[in-house]
Structure 1
Amino acid sequence: MSDGETVTVAEVLARPVLARGLPKVVACRDRLDRPVRWVHVTEWANPTAALDGGELVLTTGIGFPARLDDYAAEIAEVGAAAVVLELGRRYREVPHELVAGFRARGVPLVVLRRAVRFIDVTQELHTLILSSQVRTLRAAQRVHDTFTALSQRGAGAEEVVRAAVAMTGQAVVLENLTHQALVFATGERGLEDVLDRWEPRSRATPSPAGRTGVGGPEGWLVTQVEFRGAQWGRLVMLPTADAPFRAEHVLVLERAAGAVTLARLTQEPRWEDQAHRDALLDVLEHRQPSWPETRARLAALGVPAQGRRFVVLLLRVADRAILAEKLRARFAGTALVGDLGERGLGVLLAFREPGAWRPPAEEMAELAGVAVHAGAEVGELAEVARSAAEADQVAGAVPPHVPPAVYTIGDVGLPELLYSLRDDPRVQAYAERQLAALLSHDHTHGTDLLGTLRTYLAAAGNKSVTASRGHLSRQALYQRLRLIEQVLGADLESGEVRARLHVAVTALDAQRAGRPTS
C-alpha cells in the first residue's frame, strides 16, 4: 500500500480478484489515491441510505435510476471512494451521462469488461482493509506507548524530537513563535540542508487552519505546540522526495507536540535557554562536524554568522536565567546567550565592523550591574574558543564587586594577576613569609602597621603622600615605618624590598578579596 496504513482505489484495482475483470477507469483517473474504507455491493437506485462514506461501490447497474446524473450526485454527496460498474448485464457500454456525472463531481468511475464474482471481491478486499486497519491500530498504539513512556520519565524536548525522527525517518524541528529553530533532529539529512535559511523558509510556511496540516512551498507537515489555547511554537516535519507524509506521520507529530508541551510545563531550563546554551557550546567546543553547519545552526537561532566578527563575553551573576532572557530580548539578532555554569553567563556577540562589540558590551554591564569580562575580538568562528579562553582569564583576574564596566585583558595588572593566582599555594606561602611577623604584631598589639605599609607602598615610598593619605603627622609616620622595619627586619628604603613587599601585600589583599562572605 502506498502509505502503509490505508487502502486506495488504485491498490484495490490492482488486486487479482478485480484485475481479472479487466478494469478500465473512465472518470477521474487522477483521483485513484482516495482511501477505501469498505466495499459495498448495491443495485439500489438510491444507494446512499446504505453508505457512510469511503466505500468502494460494486454494481451491475440493474437498479440505476432514469437520470444517471442524479445517481452520480448521490454517490458524490455521501462520499463514496469510487464506483465499479460491471458491464454486460444492463450496459454493454458505459453511458456518457454517467461518465460525465462522475467526472464533474470528482469521483472515480471504473468499468469491468469481464464478469467477476462480487462475493470474491468483497471477501478479499475486506480482508485487505481489515489487515490495514489492524496495522494502523498497532502503529497508533506503538506511537502512544512511546510518547507516554517518554513523558512519564520526564524526557526533555530534545529526546522527544529524536524519538519522532526515529519513528518516521523524517527531519523534525521545534521552533518558537519568532521562527527560531530551538530543537532539531535531522535524521539522514544534513544539518545545513535542514536549517539553511530557516527563518524565511518557516515564515513562508503558514500555520494550518486546524491543528496539523501540510503547507508552504516545500510541503512541510506542521502542528501547533500549545497549552490551553496559548501557542508556544510549532513542530515541523520536513518531507523527503520519495516518501510522502502518511497518517502515521501526523499521529507521531501530534503526540510529540503533546510530549513537548508536558516537558515545557514540568522542566527547566526553557527551550530558548537550552538552545542558546547548546549552540554556544557547539561553537566553543567545536561540536559540529563543519563550520558551515555551525553557521547554519546560529542563523536558525536568529544570529547570522556569515561575514561577521565575534567576541565572547562572560558575566558573573546570581540569577543567570533572568539576565539571559533580558539580554536575548535586548540584543536579538546579534547575541547568543547561554548559561555556562560556574564560568558564568556566556555571550557570543556577532558584529560587522571591528570594535563594534564594545557599545553593546557596555550596555550589558549597565543593564546587568556587573562587570563584563571580554575576550579577544576574532574574525572567524574557528577562533571563538580563543576569545572565550581570554574572557575566562579576565573573569578569573577581576575581583568581585568592581564597578560595572567592560574589562579586557589589557585591564589585568598586578592586582588582577595576583587575584587570579590567589588560590595558588606558592603565592599564599610567599605572602605569608613576607608578612607573617607584621600580621602577628598587628594582631597582638592592636596596631595597623599593615595598613600603613600598604599606603606607603602605594605611594611608591613617598613619605609626604603616605602621611597625607594616612592622616598622620610626619613624626608619627616615621615612627611607624621604623617599627615596620624592626618587625620585618627589612630596609624600606630599598627598592627591591619595597617591590617584594608590594607583591606580598597585593597577594594578601587578593586572597582576602576572594574569601566568601558569610
Structure 2
Amino acid sequence: MTVSTGHERPGAELVTWLAALRTLSARAGAETDLPEVLCLVADTARTLLGFDFCGVLVPDAARERLEVQGWSGLSEEYVRRVNSDRPIRLNSGSPSTRAFHTGEPVAIRDVRIEPEFALWAGVAQDQGYRAIVAVPLIAGTEVLGTLNGYYASVHTFTRYEIERLILLANHAAIALTSARRLDELRALTGSLREQRDALARSEQIHERLLAVTLRSGGIGGIADALSDLIGRPVLIDDARQGEIARSSDGVDYPTAAVRSAMSDGEPTASTATVAEAVDGAGVPTGWLVASVRLGSEVAARIWFPGTLDSLDPLQIRAVEHASIVISVELLRVQTAAEVEHRVRGELLTDVLTGSGQLTPQLVERAQRLGHDLTVAHIAIVATLTGSGEVATRQAWQRALSAVTEVASGYQPRPLVAMHGGVLVALWPDATGTDVPPGVMVHRAMARAAPDVTATIAVSPAQATEYGDAYRIAKGALEIAVRAGRTDSVVGLEDLGVVGLLLQLDDPAKLLAYATRTLGPLLEYDAAHRTDLVSTLHTHFVCKQDRNVTAQRLMIHPNTVAQRLRRIERLCGVDLGDPAATVQFSSALMVLDVAAPR
C-alpha cells in the first residue's frame, strides 16, 4: 500500500483511499470488537496521511476524561500513562479536549512551546513527537471522540492536510457508530441468551423442587433438594422457631433462641427475599434467612450459611423457588389438617351428644379413623386464656395441632377435636403409662402456645358413657378456672366434695343441693336486693379474712361482719365450723357450674 507524505493531492492515491475506507467499513460492520475497530481507524489514518503516530480518543464511562482506546505506532507505556498518570480531562485545555468540545480541528505546530500542553510535554518527549492535530469524530450532532495525528518533528499543518483528516474522521465516525451499535447488539444478544438460560435453569429448579412434593417428599425432601442446589446445608423452621427439617446432621445450626433473636431483622417484603441474619447488635452472623409466607404471615423460614455476595443469581432463584414450594407444601398440610379436624370434630360431637350406648355405625365410623370406642376412655377437656383475641385464636390452632400430633403416636388413637369452645380429647384409659394423658396434653399445649395459659380437667374412665365423662370434666374445668386454679391439670380427686358431686348423673341434683344449702340467702337477696351470696363467695375466696374481703368488696370490715352474722342467722349455721365451711363453699362452686345460664 502506498504511503502518503501528507503533501500529495488526490489523484493516483484515490484507489488506495477507497480500498482503505472500504476495508474500514467492512471491518466495522463485521464481528469485530470495538477496540479492534478503533485501532483499525488509527492504522488507516496513519497509513493514508503519513503520520508518525495516530490515536483515537473517546470519553470514559463517567464522561470525565478522554482515553486513548485505539492507536497505531504509540507505545503501550505511553497509552497507559496518558490514560492513568496524565489523564486528558474534559475540563482541561488540551488540544483533544478543545476539539471535542468545539467540534473543530485543533493543531499545534510544536507542543514544547505550547503552554496548554505542559502537562503532557514529558510523555510527548518520551514518545517522540513534536506536532499534534486533533480532529473531532462527529456522527450527526454527537461528538464521539477525536482522531489525533502526531509528527516526530515540528510541523505546520496545512488546510489541505486537515481537510483530508476531517474526511477520514467523518468516515471513521460512521464506522465507529456502526461498530458501537454492533457491540451493543452483541451485548444485548448475550444478555438475552443469559436471561433465556437463567429462565430455563430457573424452570428446572422449580420443577425439581415441585417434584419433591409430588412424590410426597415433604419439607425434608425440599430441604435436601435445596441444599444440593445451593451447595450448603439448609435448616427450615416454623414461625415460632420450631425445627421442621434440616438437610444434614453434624452442622452447627443456630439454636432456636439464636434464630429467634436473628429473625428480628428479617425482610418484611411479601416476596421471598434472602437477607443476612444479624444479632441483637446488628452484626452479621454468617447466616442467611429467607421467609416463607402464607398470605401476609410468615409461616416458615429457610436458614443457610453464607453472605449475600457469596450467592449467584441462580442460587438466589433456587431459594425463592424453594420458598414458594414450601408454602405450597405447608398449605397442603394445613388444608389436610383442617379437613381431618373437621371430620374428627363431627365424630366427637356425635359421640358426646348420643343417648347412652354407641351405635354400631358410630363405632365402625370411628374405627375407620383409627379410634376404638369399645375400650374405656377418659375425657380430657382443656381451655386457653390469653391477653388478646387474635393471639388466643392462633394459640388454639397451634394447641390443637400439637395435641393431635401427640395423640397420633398412640394406639388405639385418642379422639381429639374442638367441641363447645374447648379442646376435648377422648383418651383410651392407660393407667400404666409413665406420664398421665392429662399431663401430656398440658405439656403439648404449653409448648405450642407458651404465650397463653392452658388449664386441663380429666374425668374418670368411662366404658361407653362418653357424654357423661365430658360433662364431668367440663364441670371440673369450669370450677378450676373459677377458683383460680389455672395453668394446671385438675382431676375430680383434686376438687374434694365438688368432685364427688360432679359425678352425679343428673345436674338437677347438683342444683338442688346448692339451692337447698343456699336457699335462704338466695331468697333474702331476691327480696331485699342485697348481696349476701356474693359476700359469702368473696369471703371464701379471701380465705375468710374479713379485712381482705372488705377491701375486695370495697366496703367497711364492720359491714362484712354484719353480713356474715345475717348469713349465719338465716341459715342457722356457724361459719367458724369447718363442716359448714365445706358445705357452703362446695355449694357456691356447684351453683356456678350447675345453675342455668
Q: Same fold (TM over 0.5)?
A: no
Report which structure shows greater RCO (CA 8 Å, sep ≥6).
1
Q: TM-score, normalised by structure 2?
A: 0.31
